[in-house]
Amino acid sequence: MKGRIVPAVAEKVKEMSAGICEEAESRKNMLPKSQADIMVLLPTYFIAMEGDQLVGTCGLKIWSIGQGEIISLLTWEGFRGRGYATGLIEATIKKGRKLGLREFFVLAVSPDFFRRFGFASVDYRVFPVKLWSDCAHCKRNAAGPGDKECKKTMLHLSLR
């Protein structure tokens, strides 16, 4: 990796939101995040920087005691295959562990990428709150996983 993984800061939020929303709109593979969405969770977000250029994002949403969801994992096109997403995931899980989280989950369009870190597929119905609150906002599929339009796989990592 030529660049670095650093905690996200407020001055980058506009650009983070624009990158995530552009990917969400064009590929329908992740949820869009407004600047307000990101600001609320800013202490959990990491960004990848190559020089002065923002090239990646990843956040962590805590749903219940000890359990967090990996969100907004994105490496900007043109900067992929350089280890940024790996660095972002590692930093996010390390931070989650420091916060006391022992379980992580992700609703992923790229399940094989997450398997590299020990995540394993799990029945999506294990996390009903996520489905009810987030899937309703998905452009591809308001019904959530299980609907034939949904391209995502639920994965889980336990670090107990």
Binding region for ligand COA (CB under 6 A): 23, 29-30, 73-75, 80-86, 108-110, 112-113, 116
Q: Please state whether beta strands 103-108 and 67-75 pair in parallel, antiparallel, or not at all (unpaired).
A: parallel
Cα separation, 67 vs 44, whole angstroms: 13
Total count of residues recorded for the chain: 160
Nearer to ligand COA, 1 or 10 (CB): 1
14 near 8, Cβ under 8 Å? no
Residue 71 structure tokens: 């969100």
Written as one letter, the residue type at 38 is I
- Least distance between ligand COA and beta carbon 51 (Å): 16
Nearer to ligand COA, 31 or 160 (CB): 31
Written as one letter, the residue type at 3 is G
Nearer to ligand COA, 77 or 100 (CB): 77
- Least distance between ligand COA and beta carbon 112 (Å): 4
Written as one letter, the residue type at 25 is E
- Least distance between ligand COA and beta carbon 83 (Å): 5
- Least distance between ligand COA and beta carbon 123 (Å): 18
